[in-house]
Structure 1
Amino acid sequence: MNTIFRSYLIFFTSLLAFGCNTNEKKQDTGFILQEIDLPDYEKNIDHKGLLTALGDRNDESIRTGEHIYNNICFNCHGNPETPGSIPNAFKFWEGEFKVGKDPYSIYQTLTRGYGSMPPQVSLTPIEKYDIINYLRETFIKEKNPNQFFEIDSIYLASLPLGTSSGPEPKEFKPWAEMDYGNFLINTYELVGLNAPERERSSGPSPLPDENLINANFAYKGIAVRIDKGEGGVAAGKAWMMFDHDLMRVAGAWTGEGFIDWEAILFNGRHNISPRTSGDLHFSNPVGPAWANPMTGKFDDPRFQARDGRKFGPLPREWAQYKGLYQFENRVIISYTVGNAKVLETFGLEMLDSSPVFTRTLNISPSDKPLKMRVAPSQVSVELLGNGASLKKQDGFTLMEVSPSQRLQIKLLISKAKPEELKEFAKTSSPPESLESMIKGGPSRYPQKLSTEVIQGTQEGPFQVDILNPPFDSPWKNQFRLSGLDFFKDPNKGVICSTDGDVWLVEGFTKNSGKLTWQRIASGLFQPLGIKVINEEIFVTCRDQLVKLHDFNGDRETDFYEAYNSDHQVTDHFHEFAMGLQVDKEGNFYYAKSARHAREALVPQHGTLIKVSKDGQKTEIVATGFRAANGVCINPDGTFIVTDQEGHWNPMNRVNWVKKGGFYGNMFSYNPPPDSTDSGMEQPLVWIERDRDQSPSELLWVESKKWGALDGKLLNLSYGYGKVFVVPFEKIGDQVQGGIFELPIPRFSTGVMRGRFNPGDGQLYLCGLSAWGSTQPQLGGLYRIRKVEKPMVILVGLQANKNGMKLIFTDELDRESVQDLNNYTIKVWDLLRSRKYGSTHYNEQTLKVTKAELGKDGKTIKLSIPEIKPTWVMEINYQLKDDKGKDVEGLVQNTIHQLGEASSW
């Protein structure tokens, strides 16, 4: 990883430890980062020199700027022909700059971030001026001339003085530099050297489906490196791909590059899946690899989507993926065909300069004959071992397996001539038993890494500790942390990252000032939730619910059990599997997002999903979500699922979920016919983007150390790195309430998941920034400690026919409460439609005619004669506590129904 960038990440996290409240500063300037937050080199940049130099390298600069724009900015901003994925993002060809239209002002926005625009901390000063040059010359000069600023000598002389150009530009590809281990599960498209251009649709939403019926996608592709060497799958030169939906080897390829890294969680590109890079030696089309043992046919019985493609796993009685074993750098895949158990591993041999790909299979006795498609018939195939034979049929070379025998088979597959491969087979080693490789092996990641705990010293009721991951790990991990949980020993926990890792972390409660990190699993498909149950580790991945097994006591995972792989995975970038919770009966729950700006292809798109305790059954609990970032289980057995602003979502929403409920996204699979607001369940609260751009998971406070907040509900912010209290009430069957921000600094990452540690009673949070967050750091781990100081936090909210009740944790000053000038209340409506988001409608300021403080000293009753149900209400107040200290705050809430007129 770029050393300067990595150092900057560590520097930025330390700001919180020294009490730098970037959130408060942002309220003053609009910038996310302040000058003190920036690397030292930014204080000595020769802005005049960099702008002047553009004249000598204009063409090169514009080409570089275009490259950066297409790879970093296009996803959100788009261009005049193709809307970006966030329609509200600034349009350079027609919008008006908020900070300033001159190059230095634009530079400041790129460097420091502004509003929803995150700081571009990976760009050097030269690169930032290249992108500014590209924007000015391509979009602004002709299409938006009112925003084009003429550069002259007077302007250049006014720029800050400096002597440096900053660090030299260096292409930053942390996703390609990381050692993922010898396998990496993802959705891949298999293509050869002369691959056609990708088809990508555009236009108004919903976007039309591309014609991908003939594309060879491994939707649950296990890419395995088969050549020797360090650096894992990304550093290899030869690979094979196993598709665990279909038990097929999708193909084998060689080259200097593994894949093209085109994906949202690799290089950040939206609406795209990575393709294989290099020479595709053979591939098998999408379809079952093994014939149905009952019929002997290869007909695909799976769910067929609107676009003609089929998704999801084969029926379990036909074939089922059981998981994979890791032994040294060998990957052994376990699955069943009928009642036969299969272990399979891959290898590479060389016939002169021609690769020979090998498949070694150990097959238990079957009660029926089995047959498998090995490769297209034009590809050379040889078989070693007894009890099986090869034949050609319907354009494929088939392997037929005799029943009632235990077999060890080795297949050789190559582009070599058939007679050459036949001769080569005589010298190839015989098929091996794989039994010795499924009992655990030597550690692959023996190093234990240590990091410092930076103790928080902030004033106020909370202190935030920074628990930095080992950013300088030998495997160049990005540490985009996406889930955490604790063992019975609360000093020890597990943390997953969306890059595929699981880490065992120790040191949480012993207060040694250090954490120890051990990498215990890798190569998983976008983990976004983790749970420890009876000391066993379960992980939510995009393709499966995985159970991790350690057979030899070194803590590393020896077997990645597919506890449940009913997931319907397509190639769409947006369908993340989010969170993991378990109910009292042991059933699992996670949320699956829908396709972005497109109609659903499979029933699981945009749903809350339940997996039975034994992993054998999957059911959909609720539908109609767009981007459901995790799930919370409530004490009464209901659920809370957040959702994000977008098409059919005028703003972010927090949903108190009922079984069978529909939550508004009409692009969901088989939505109800009624697209009006009354056709959906209403949210607990609509969240304005200024409060939180992207809410993530909620959790209940389970800690007596948190005093009056014990038993209350918290909401985490992926978009802005905040934590909110969620005061709510229930009127009839409708839950309604609001959000109130905890008085702590913003975290430097988006916050994804949180757990209260039963040992110290404090809240631990992890987070990442990979899509749609303003926060600049890739990943982070934090602890919020409640200390013995007054909180004065709003924890209760009641709407009634004569006004609002606000309930606080601590006592307030009666005189300040009664002063009506201390309150400002605004309300507005939203418009839900197929368009992205909504502006404000019917904005009003409501008059408070009386304010009273209850006998408890903590409850305010506001008389508001004009109160009525509203999509959004914001209450600002400036009060004092009972010690005379200023207390300012804002609560945003939604009112669906008014309760009866309130009295004390």
Structure 2
Amino acid sequence: MKRFLRNLNFLLLFLFLLGCNSGSKNEDAETALGFTLQESDLPDYEKNIDHRGLLTALDDRQGESIRTGEHIYNNTCFNCHGNPEQEGSMPNAFKFWKDEFKMGKDPYSIYQTLTRGYGSMPPQVNLTPVEKYDIINYLRETFLKEANPNQYVAVDSAYLATLPDGTTTGPAPKEFKPWAEMDYGNFLINTYEVVAQNAPPRERSTGPIQPLKDENLINSNFAYKGIAVRLDQGKGGVAAGKAWMMFDHDLMRVAGAWTGEGFIDWEAILFNGKHNISPRTIGELHFENPVVPAWANPATGNFDDPRFTARDKRKFGPLPREWTHYEGLYQFNDRVIISYTVGNAKVLETFGLETLEDQPVFTRTMNISSSDKALKMRIAPTGTSVAVVGEGAVLKDQGGFTVMELPPSQSLKIKLLIAKSGMEGLQQYSKTSSQPEDLNPLIKGGPARYPQKLTTAVQIGEQEGPFQVDILNPPFDSPWKNQFRLSGLDFFKDPNKGVICSTDGDVWLVEGFMKDSGKLTWQRIASGLFQPLGIKVVNEEIFVTCRDQLVRLHDYNGDRETDFYESFNNDHQVTDHFHEFAMGLQTDDEGNFYYAKSARHAREALIPQHGTLIKVSKDGLKTDIIATGFRAANGVCINPDGTFIVTDQEGHWNPMNRINWVKAGGFYGNMFSYNPPTDSTESGMELPLVWVERDIDQSPSELLWVDSKKWGALDGKLLNFSYGYGKIFVVPYEKIGDQVQGGIFELPIPRFSTGVMRGRFNPGDEQLYLCGLSAWGSTQPQLGGLYRIRKVDQPMVIPIGIKATTTGIELSFTDELDQASVNQIANYTVETWDLLRSRKYGSKHYNEQTLNVTKAELGKDKKTIKLTIPEIKPTWVMEIQYKLKDKGGKSIDGSIQNTIHRLGKASTS
């Protein structure tokens, strides 16, 4: 499917959004209205658009415009908004066929909302003005005109006369597929469906009833942990190839081999943005193997699959380690060498491509160490053309497959030749084909595949206030066309060096953080990984959380590039569902690893790991589920007391976003998770630290403890990052009994142009470094970014402590306050409301109340406010707004949103 994107200089937009922290009064008013972008953030051409001409031109191109608008809607908007027959994946998204526009319903007003973003609606920077009016035209004629006529404004001469003058229609639309143009390297790990040409359409369950039913996918050939390897020569990596083989490292099988123009159809959440779908192979499928073990169990000689069987009858996860185990992959130039075990035999395997009378012959070269038992492997279904080169292997027909049998106590080098059914002459060709090579010289490190070191400039921030933001630009013009959707970072012992991963499969070594040169050097050291969303440096070794495994990167020859992608742990099960991201990576004092795995969106879990906090032992040999019941757990924070914090997102069974202080064995509310408790009420789950309203943060990500004396009163405090809105919050909290509760306060820092995913304090300069990305669920327009936040010597006046007592609320601030302003009870507004937790998506407000503040006092430390609130009681959500002054007389306006589960004793000081 085509997706139209504007040929926009993302770097300039990136600079615009963070270049300053203040604007005109008019821009401040616009921001208050809810627009995400101010006028000064927009490209210059937007100030001179001929809106009248664009709308008038629709008369002559109505059919074309509707078709284009429908295409854009189906490929960009439908995922979230849906249509009257099919609810979108975000049920609270605007419904054009019945809702009322908040920022104006005429075409020009809708154009402004599309361009600048509003609330949870991100600015559509990917669309040209022509495309925006095409989608507006489609919405008006398809949804508004008949189903929602009160929101339909006639475009007549009187209306056209009200539009601003302009002379340009903006950039011309351009077909642009960044996900398909990127050079991922010669392999790319993902979940793929292997299909023949003209395969029937995918079965995709839809509807307003949640959870959605399971599709019948029992006969679909999914490689859930598929390593797609390019076989033909040429530049551009796997996406630019014409011949491929797919290895499934759950089952140690070749799932299939195919050729053609085009690698896959790119239908996936982090490719073309499609939900509820995994990419399919395209082109001619020459052979395939079903989703069953490739190697027989050495202990029994049979192929019976003992793995976990899900509710839909599919089996998931790796085979037992004693049977077979994926060790990882080596790379040598463009060669990929897979390493795995079968029993006590070690196998190195690489793939290749030969030709016979201009027809492709796929090769599998194996170096197999001696085994204490005979081995056998299914090569391909009976009828596929198969031949063997080398000594020691016997081919037989068995159980509908061509099977290779190997004797025990021998080290063997074997090359298999595989071609589509009906190829003649393969046996004769095998006599002249080259002998199987020794693969050991290829696993000691090869020449650099990405020798270029890229340099970028650091833009030093000079914002007013206690924090200054430096923009550390990634090399957006990289020769490999990387998207730089940055998803994790960490530092080495040398604080000048760090590593950063991206969801597109890359790991980058970045240097220059401590230097005053104003430059950073970027070196691509790994590629082809499956949706990395966390990274950690442990004893100078790099570990990466991927959707299919926890990977340790090894450089054998000192060029810093990864020569061996070790599968440190691949225990967790992976399905085809788009939503089950593996998020974050942390280690405890003993060296154990932790990450969170999300659940299926709008569906019941299929596997035990859906919606869980997962622990991997420090040696990688054991995996445990620590807590359950999460929906979309974006990362993990380890607390000083050994507990954890995991955020979760609004959705089914989550009336709002939540920040969870996690205890081992706890259940955190998602009744669609695997094996939930029978009690679906609040008493059947652990309660969150705080419920977070969507207007505060649409999608919270990871939390981080401040570890920096330079951050003054914030040192040792808790920060929360916003993927949804690109914000940073401080999280004041208290513990009453075994219940942690608290609130959230936005730091006085402008919104970042990306969602913020992960952060680390650099031990060298003690400042906060952040990386982020924008995809589904983020309103921010920039694909990815890297930032540094420096605390400067100015007062913060930020609330860092909160207590809910039987008499009211106590707020503790970083700096001293003006007593006169504190004592004025008119300076406070306290509101509360309840939420309803159910299988429905989100919740509206219930029982809204405004509570009276009858007294306000400043404590002896001049930093603590005691609010007397006679009506206080436990509540789902409380919002405290204040208008105060600091000790110097400067006005300080702020808002804290918090949750109260229990009331404690009021302090006497």
User: Normalising by structure 2, what TM-score?
Assistant: 0.98
Q: What is the alpha-carbon distance in structure 2 between the residues aligned to residue 412 and residue 93 of structure 1?
A: 58
**Which amino acid in 2 is paired with 1:768?**
L
SS at match of 1:107: helix
2:486–2:771 Cα contact (<8 Å) kept: yes
2:10 equivalent to 1:8:
yes
Which of 99, 102, 106 is equivalent to 2:106? 102
Counting matched residue pairs gives 904
Q: What is the alpha-carbon distance in structure 2 between the residues aligned to residue 26 and residue 524 of structure 1?
A: 42
Question: Where does residue 666 of structure 1 map in the other structure?
Answer: 671
Question: Where does residue 31 of structure 1 map in the other structure?
Answer: 35
2:120 equivalent to 1:116:
yes
Cα separation, partners in 2 of 1:516 and 1:844, compared to 1, 3 Å: same
Cα separation, partners in 2 of 1:701 and 1:5, compared to 1, 3 Å: farther
Question: Where does residue 71 of structure 1 map in the other structure?
Answer: 75
2:584 equivalent to 1:579:
yes
2:143 equivalent to 1:162:
no
Question: Where does residue 494 of structure 1 map in the other structure?
Answer: 499
Quote the offset at 1:11 in angstroms. 2.9
**Which amino acid in 2 is paired with 1:351?**
L
Q: What is the alpha-carbon distance in structure 1 between the residues aligned to residue 67 and residue 666 of structure 2?
A: 50
Which of 747, 756, 761 is equivalent to 2:761? 756
2:20 equivalent to 1:18:
yes
1:568–1:602 Cα contact (<8 Å) kept: yes
Quote the offset at 1:426 in angstroms. 2.3
Quote the offset at 1:141 in angstroms. 1.1
Q: What is the alpha-carbon distance in structure 1 between the residues aligned to residue 4 and residue 654 of structure 2?
A: 38
Q: Once the two structures are aligned, what percentage of the paired residues are identical?
A: 80
Which of 556, 563, 567 is equivalent to 1:562? 567
1:505–1:516 Cα contact (<8 Å) kept: yes
2:64 equivalent to 1:60:
yes
Cα separation, partners in 2 of 1:861 and 1:197, compared to 1, 3 Å: same
Question: Where does residue 212 of structure 1 map in the other structure?
Answer: 217
Q: Which runs of 5+ in 2 are unaligned?
A: none
Question: Where does residue 95 of structure 2 map in the other structure?
Answer: 91
1:5–1:121 Cα contact (<8 Å) kept: no
Q: What is the alpha-carbon distance in structure 2 between the residues aligned to residue 574 and residue 251 of structure 1?
A: 25
Which of 137, 159, 183 is equivalent to 2:187? 183
For 1:434-449, what aligned pairs fall within 5 Å after superposition?
434-449=439-454
Quote the offset at 1:464 in angstroms. 0.4
Deviations 1:13-38 (A, max 9, x none): 34423335799565423111111111
SS at match of 1:185: strand
SS at match of 1:158: coil
**Which amino acid in 1 is paired with 2:314?**
R
Which of 316, 324, 336 is equivalent to 2:321? 316
Quote the offset at 1:901 in angstroms. 3.2
**Which shows bigger deviation, 759-768 or 11-20?**
11-20
Quote the offset at 1:516 in angstroms. 0.3
For 1:126-141, what aligned pairs fall within 5 Å after superposition?
126-141=130-145
Q: What is the alpha-carbon distance in structure 1 between the residues aligned to residue 281 and residue 250 of structure 2?
A: 19
Question: Where does residue 891 of structure 2 map in the other structure?
Answer: 886
**Which amino acid in 2 is paired with 1:74?**
F
2:251 equivalent to 1:246:
yes
Question: Where does residue 264 of structure 1 map in the other structure?
Answer: 269
2:246–2:255 Cα contact (<8 Å) kept: yes
For 1:717-728, what aligned pairs fall within 5 Å after superposition?
717-728=722-733
2:234 equivalent to 1:198:
no
Quote the offset at 1:138 in angstroms. 1.2
Q: What is the alpha-carbon distance in structure 2 between the residues aligned to residue 248 and residue 128 of structure 1?
A: 46
2:554–2:564 Cα contact (<8 Å) kept: yes
1:122–1:172 Cα contact (<8 Å) kept: no
Question: Where does residue 780 of structure 2 map in the other structure?
Answer: 775
2:659 equivalent to 1:693:
no
Q: What is the alpha-carbon distance in structure 2 between the residues aligned to residue 439 and residue 662 of structure 1?
A: 46
Deviations 1:80-122 (A, max 9, x none): 1110000000001111111111111111111111110000101
SS at match of 1:567: coil
Q: What is the alpha-carbon distance in structure 1 between the residues aligned to residue 475 and residue 408 of structure 2?
A: 52
2:120 equivalent to 1:125:
no
Question: Where does residue 860 of structure 1 map in the other structure?
Answer: 865
1:290–1:373 Cα contact (<8 Å) kept: yes
Q: What is the alpha-carbon distance in structure 2 between the residues aligned to residue 216 and residue 526 of structure 1?
A: 21
Cα separation, partners in 2 of 1:24 and 1:389, compared to 1, 3 Å: farther
Deviations 1:294-337 (A, max 9, x none): 11111110000000000000000000000000000000000000
Deviations 1:715-761 (A, max 9, x none): 00001101000000000000000001100100000000000000000
SS at match of 1:891: strand
Question: Where does residue 236 of structure 1 map in the other structure?
Answer: 241
Q: What is the alpha-carbon distance in structure 2 between the residues aligned to residue 426 and residue 156 of structure 1?
A: 78
SS at match of 2:454: strand
Q: What is the alpha-carbon distance in structure 2 between the residues aligned to residue 343 and residue 402 of structure 1?
A: 17
Cα separation, partners in 2 of 1:4 and 1:102, compared to 1, 3 Å: closer
Which of 378, 386, 390 is equivalent to 1:381? 386
2:411 equivalent to 1:406:
yes
Which of 516, 520, 523 is equivalent to 2:521? 516
Quote the offset at 1:846 in angstroms. 0.5
Quote the offset at 1:12 in angstroms. 2.8
SS at match of 1:736: strand
SS at match of 2:150: helix
Which of 127, 148, 152 is equivalent to 1:148? 152
Question: Where does residue 900 of structure 2 map in the other structure?
Answer: 895
Q: What is the alpha-carbon distance in structure 2 between the residues aligned to residue 160 and residue 692 of structure 1?
A: 34
1:739–1:891 Cα contact (<8 Å) kept: yes
2:5–2:175 Cα contact (<8 Å) kept: no
Quote the offset at 1:173 in angstroms. 0.9
**Which amino acid in 2 is paired with 1:247?**
M
Q: Which runs of 5+ in 1 are unaligned?
A: none
Deviations 1:650-698 (A, max 9, x none): 0000000000000000001000010011000000000011110000000
Q: What is the alpha-carbon distance in structure 2 between the residues aligned to residue 673 and residue 412 of structure 1?
A: 54
Which of 38, 47, 53 is equivalent to 2:51? 47
**Which amino acid in 1 is paired with 2:53?**
G
For 1:622-637, what aligned pairs fall within 5 Å after superposition?
622-637=627-642
Quote the offset at 1:53 in angstroms. 1.4
Q: What is the alpha-carbon distance in structure 1 between the residues aligned to residue 288 and residue 433 of structure 2?
A: 23
**Which amino acid in 1 is paired with 2:206?**
S
**Which amino acid in 1 is paired with 2:738?**
D
Q: What is the alpha-carbon distance in structure 2 between the residues aligned to residue 4 and residue 123 of structure 1?
A: 5
Quote the offset at 1:50 in angstroms. 1.3
Q: What is the alpha-carbon distance in structure 2 between the residues aligned to residue 531 and residue 662 of structure 1?
A: 27
Q: CA RMSD in A?
A: 1.3
2:259–2:284 Cα contact (<8 Å) kept: yes
**Which amino acid in 2 is paired with 1:752?**
M
Deviations 1:801-857 (A, max 9, x none): 001100000000000000111000000000000000000000000011000001111
**Which amino acid in 2 is paired with 1:19?**
N
SS at match of 2:180: helix
Question: Where does residue 544 of structure 1 map in the other structure?
Answer: 549
1:8–1:39 Cα contact (<8 Å) kept: no
**Which shows bigger deviation, 472-481 or 395-404?**
395-404
Cα separation, partners in 2 of 1:585 and 1:21, compared to 1, 3 Å: farther
User: Normalising by structure 1, what TM-score?
Assistant: 0.99
Q: What is the alpha-carbon distance in structure 2 between the residues aligned to residue 419 and residue 888 of structure 1?
A: 81
For 1:727-876, what aligned pairs fall within 5 Å after superposition?
727-876=732-881
Quote the offset at 1:46 in angstroms. 1.4
